[in-house]
């Protein structure tokens, strides 16, 4: 019995189904491992992360993070920019980013490993972030001594003083600046064309984050992809039932 291309297709579809099932896990009451962490609650309790929370929500990054925190054996470290940090950004800095780039910016604030404050001094720089693995480094550098740690992106350096939470599997450290990666905010080669010009040029005075709410299709791609995958799976399910019977 040769391994037919069809079985390979079925196998990969099965794998992608399990991935999708995982991604949808929040609907099911997970059989709690060692006490799952409610990352949203940690931030809400912090009281000064309204912008960060709404960005995580808008880009649908929350599920991915909580899933990873609940399932990773390494834990996670997150640098949470305060509302103050976001309001100190140049106006339009966020709105100039595409949805994908906003996700990258958020992922850049996360390390796929739990670090206590003192362990941040033992890392070897640059430390990969959740955004690493794409073109560019997307790393963070940590320097300092004793209880004083600085994190640097090359464009921005800020102190990491206190932890909002520092219990495995999740460490959350507030930062007073948004960590701007060189990959998004560094000097671009002259050939790169500027981001799409804003159509509403008159809104310079009030560039609130709600401006981006009008941007089209935030989550449509993934939902569409899921539907296609499910359709294929059902279709092939029928095919294989046909073969077996
Ligand atoms: C997590 O915390 C948020 C904010 O406090 C709350 O709305 C949500 O219901 C919590 N989720 C769970 C599963 O406890
Ligand atoms: C997340 O976004 C949904 C709509 O997309 C909204 O109903 C919900 O209140 C938001 N939650 C938070 C914590 O911002
Ligand atoms: C992770 O655990 C938190 C807290 O119970 C829960 O709110 C969240 O839905 C879980 N996420 C996933 C993807 O299982
Ligand atoms: C940390 O950064 C601050 C500026 O934000 C600077 O004054 C201080 O010297 C830096 N400390 C170390 C250990 O690099
Ligand atoms: C980060 O640290 C590495 C290794 O020490 C160094 O090569 C690199 O230039 C540093 N980058 C920044 C942005 O400080
Ligand atoms: C923008 O946000 C500021 C506070 O951050 C608020 O005072 C102002 O009314 C908002 N403007 C608009 C157009 O929403």
pLDDT tens-digit series, residues 4-61:
655 655 545 454 545 455 444 444 444 444 567 889 999 999 999 999 999 999 998 8
pLDDT of residue 16: 54
Let me know if domain 39-179 sits in CATH 3.30.160.150. Answer: no
Q: How do beta strands 76-81 and 170-175 pair?
A: parallel
Ligand (nearest to CA of 140): 5
| Ligand number, closest to the Cα atom of 41 | 1
Is residue 141 within 6 Å of ligand 4 at its C-beta? no
pLDDT tens per residue across span 93-146: 888 899 999 999 999 999 999 999 999 999 999 999 999 987 788 999 999 987
- Among 40, 45, 57, residue to substitute to test ligand 2 (most atoms within 8 Å of Cβ): 57
Q: Which of 145, 146, 159 to mutate to test the pocket of ligand 4 (most atoms within 8 A of CB)?
A: 159
Q: Which residues line ligand 3 (CB under 6 A)?
A: 25-26, 30, 36-38, 63, 66-67, 70
């Amino acid at each position: 019995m040769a391994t037919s291309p069809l079985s390979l297709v079925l196998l990969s579809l099965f794998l992608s189904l399990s991935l999708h099932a995982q991604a949808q896990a929040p609907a099911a009451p997970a059989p709690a491992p060692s006490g799952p962490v409610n990352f949203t609650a940690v931030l809400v309790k912090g009281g000064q992360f309204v912008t960060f929370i709404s960005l995580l929500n808008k880009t649908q990054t929350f599920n991915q993070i909580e899933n990873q925190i609940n399932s990773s054996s390494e834990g996670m470290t997150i640098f949470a920019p305060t509302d103050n940090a976001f309001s100190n950004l140049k106006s339009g800095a966020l709105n100039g980013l595409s949805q994908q780039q906003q996700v990258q910016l958020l992922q850049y604030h996360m390390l796929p490993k739990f670090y206590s404050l003192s362990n941040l001094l033992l890392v070897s720089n640059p430390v990969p972030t959740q955004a690493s693995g794409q073109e560019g480094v997307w790393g963070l550098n940590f320097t300092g001594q004793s209880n004083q740690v600085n994190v640097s992106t090359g464009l921005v350096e800020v102190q990491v003083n206190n932890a909002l939470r520092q219990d495995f599997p999740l460490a959350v450290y507030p930062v007073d600046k948004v960590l701007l990666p060189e990959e998004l905010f560094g000097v671009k080669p002259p050939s790169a064309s500027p981001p799409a010009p804003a159509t509403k040029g008159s809104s310079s005075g009030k560039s609130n984050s709600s401006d981006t709410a009008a941007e089209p299709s935030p989550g449509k791609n993934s939902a569409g992809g899921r539907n296609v995958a499910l359709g294929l799976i059902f279709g092939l399910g029928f095919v294989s039932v046909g073969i077996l019977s």
